[in-house]
Amino acid sequence: MPQYLGLDASTQSMTGLIIDTDAQAIVAEESINFDEHFAARYGVENGVVDKGEGVVHSYPLMWIEALELLLVRLRDSGQDLSKIAALSGSGQQHGTVYLNAGASSALNALEAHSSLSDQLSGVFSRDTAPIWMDSSTSRQCQEIEEAVGGQDALLELTGNTAFERFSGPQIRRFFQDEPEAYAATATISLVSSFVASVLAGKLVSVDAGDGSGTNLMDIRTRDWSGKAQEATAPGLANRMAPIAASAKSVGSIHPYFIEKYGFANDCMVLPFSGDNPCSLIGLGLVNPGQAALSLGTSDTLFSCMAEPRVSFEGEGCVFSSPDDVHYMALICFMNGSLAREAVRDRYNLDWQGFTETLRSTEPGNDGRLMLPYFDPEIVPNVSAGVVRQDLAEDDVEGNVRAVIEAQAVSSYIHSRWMAVDIASLNVTGGGSANEEILKVFANVHGCPVQRFETTNSTALGAALKALKGHQTDLSWSSIAETFCQPSDSVIQPEPSTRQIYHRLITAYGKLEQSHGR
């Protein structure tokens, strides 16, 4: 009765999801919210610490504490963790964890009588990790692009132009700002590979899915690019373990977890990947042309591609798929649930009130428009500042509909470069539970929107990676067919809204451009 565990170290929480191959079903899902458990100790809000001037960090030690709490919760809820044949995981992409020379032996020496955080508190050469919300590295982006021969050269090499949140620019800034701490850094992990390293009790690398979110990986060979590493910081190649093949075990789980939580001796640990690449798999996007939408802290729209098609306008990113064969195109909008929550809170609504307000308003919002840049936006790349057109700030109804229509329209406009004819959108993420929001996306994109049993498609994708790594002869198509079927609740577009949204798309595009965006 093999079971597989998928972990998801996301921005706001640590989630665990277990699938059972006999039952062909998800049998457990637990989540530890960072703010709920650690806000007092670490001072985080929405899982992060905003240090101002675009600097946004989080605490790797907090993630470890959450991992421990999650395992306690899974064990105490009656899960028999000895049934887990293999585990894998996903992490918020781009974040970097800086480890000192003692990390390797500390990971190896973990003992069950003490907590993970007590034993690992001394392994960092930097207490905090810059994460994907950090937009403070514009200078470093320019420097890296120049050093590899220009923006197009970096795009050609890594599949991506330099993005502020990507690992390479963040590492360069650390090297420049804190040269001594950089010198004391023996290993740089990503969020995903850091959590994998704790479970394996040794330093392990990322897969190509997460490696491609660094501006450091050759997108075609799926290996680190020496040229990009040299352009980023001296001695970087020695500080990063080689890219791991997605489906190849990095070893067995460390005895700490066997003794403390009852995992089996031979429970395999598969390399972890980024949250978006895992979501690609978890939503069953294993064939080119399929597309999906994730409504999470950030909103992302992504598709599976046969080749690494790139965005010359810098609207999107290209990552390797965790199947190590295909690629994924991804557009990341910073103002996802952050913007929805900002509007909800600004007008003192709860989610129910927000949803009822949205339902009570008309598609097209009578021309009332908003550019919802509550935080600096990634696509388009602009600084923070909400813009309203024909929309009063105290108009509650207008602002609620405007923020959702802005998100849907922006995702439509900025996904043209993918050249994917989106026939349907598979949706995931916390926001996908809200049918009124999904209706707007279905109408703007003019295609059906399909929901899934779980909104944790990242953790499901990670569990499926574990299954594939353990049962290597299973094909991705058959895995997706078994575990990634949409639920019955498909949301169809309403033909009567086509004209309205065509007009809105044009008007929104003009507003965006008139603001230099």
Q: Which one of residues 5, 8, 9, 11 is an interface residue with ligand XUL (CB under 6 A)?
A: 11
* Token pair 């040269």 in the structure block, residue: 179
Site string for ligand XUL, 126-155 (x = CB under 6 A): ------x-----------------------
Report the alpha-carbon distance of residue 123 to residue 111 in Å, rounded: 15
Q: Which of 12, 79, 92, 457 binds ligand XUL (CB under 6 A)?
A: 92
Q: 489: helix, coil or strand?
A: strand
Residue 88 binds to ligand XUL (criterion: CB under 6 A): no
For ligand XUL, give the closer residue by CB, 192 or 232: 192
Short-list 266, 104, 282, CA closest to 198 = 104
Q: Among all chains, which residue has been given the structure tokens 């057109």?
A: 389
Residues 296-335 as x/- pattern, contact with ligand XUL by CB under 6 A: x-x-x----------------x------------x-x---
Q: Which stretch binds ligand XUL (CB under 6 A): 249-257, 270-278, 428-436, 502-510?
A: 270-278
Task: Report the alpha-carbon distance of residue 274 to residue 402 in Å, rounded.
Answer: 31
Measured from the CB atom, is 58 or 365 closer to ligand XUL?
Answer: 58
Which of 94, 222, 326, 368 touches ligand XUL (CB under 6 A)?
94
> Binding segment for ligand XUL among 92-100, 139-147, 489-497, 499-507 (CB under 6 A)?
92-100
Residue indicated by tokens 């972890």: 272
**Which is closer to ligand XUL, CB of 199 or CB of 379?**
379
Nearest to 94 by CA among 175, 11, 34, 8: 11
Which stretches does DSSP call E strand in 325-378?
327-333, 369-371
State in angstroms the smallest separation of the CB of 12 from ligand XUL. Answer: 10
Shortest distance, CB of residue 436 to ligand XUL, whole angstroms?
A: 23
Smallest distance, Å, CB 164 to ligand XUL?
10
| Residues touching ligand XUL, count (CB under 6 A) | 16
List C-alpha distances in Å: 387 to 384, 426, 511: 10, 30, 9
Q: Which of 108, 128, 111 is nearest to 204 (CA)?
A: 108
Q: Between 150 and 189, how does the x/- string for binding to ligand XUL read (CB under 6 A)?
A: ---------------x------------------------
Among positions 199-228, residues that touch ligand XUL (CB under 6 A) are: 213
In 3D space, the residue among 429, 458, 147 whose CA is nearest the CA of residue 328 turns out to be: 458
Neighbouring C-beta atoms of residue 486, cutoff 10 Å: 17
Residue 411 found at the interface with ligand XUL (CB under 6 A): no
Interface segment toward ligand XUL; rule CB under 6 A; list 86-94, 181-189, 283-291, 365-373: 86-94
Q: DSSP class of residue 2?
A: -
Contact 235, 116 (CB under 8 A): no
- Rg (alpha carbons) of the chain, rounded to whole number: 22
Task: Indicate the pairing of strand 449-452 with strand 317-320.
Answer: unpaired
> Is 414 one of the binding residues for ligand XUL (CB under 6 A)?
no
Q: Does residue 443 interact with ligand XUL by CB under 6 A?
A: no
- Closest to ligand XUL by CB, 347 vs 417, is 417
Q: Give me the long-range contacts of 30-36 (CB less than 8 A, separation at least 24).
A: 30/70, 30/73, 30/74, 30/77, 31/70, 31/456, 32/66, 32/69, 32/70, 32/73, 34/58, 34/62, 34/66
Residue from 232, 276, 337, 497 binding ligand XUL (CB under 6 A): 276
Nearest approach, Cβ of residue 415 and ligand XUL (Å) = 14
Binding ligand XUL (rule: CB under 6 A), the pick from 134, 275, 315, 405 is 275
Residue 200 contacts residue 253 (beta carbons within 8 Å): yes
User: By CB under 6 A, is residue 246 in contact with ligand XUL?
Assistant: no
- Name the site residues for ligand XUL (rule: CB under 6 A): 11, 92-94, 132, 165, 213, 274-276, 296, 298, 300, 317, 330, 332
